[in-house]
Amino acid sequence: MTQTWKWIVSNPKICGGEPCIKGTRIPVHLLLDHLAAGDSFDDILKAYPQLTKVAVQEAIEFASLAVREEILPLR
């Protein structure tokens, strides 16, 4: 992925290098897990008040691009 991310960072010293929301130890996959479980943006923001809606939206965009570039096509 060549896009620049404002809210997504990866540091080997934080969460084993998993993509996380900048300034937190909240991995992108955790937010996706919440959405997959049916939680709303408001639910996520209540559970993690240090996040912003923009950061959660960027995490979804990041994951969408990662799937397209790393996983597809399925075989």
Residue-wise pLDDT tens digits, 8-51: 999 999 999 999 999 999 999 999 999 999 999 999 999 999 99
Contact at 8 Å (CB) between 2 and 68? no
Which two structure tokens, joined as six digits, stand for 4?
A: 């620049």
pLDDT of 70 over the 70 cut: no
Which two structure tokens, joined as six digits, stand for 9?
A: 């960072």
Vertex 60, ends 36 and 21: CA angle to 5°?
105
Instruction: Assign 3-state DSSP to the chain and report helix, strand, coil percentages, each to 5.
Output: 50, 5, 45
Which two structure tokens, joined as six digits, stand for 7?
A: 């809210």
Q: What is the pLDDT of residue 69?
A: 74
Q: What is the pLDDT of residue 2?
A: 58
Among 11-20, 42-51, 52-61, 65-74, the minimum mean pLDDT is found in: 65-74
| pTM of the full structure | 0.85
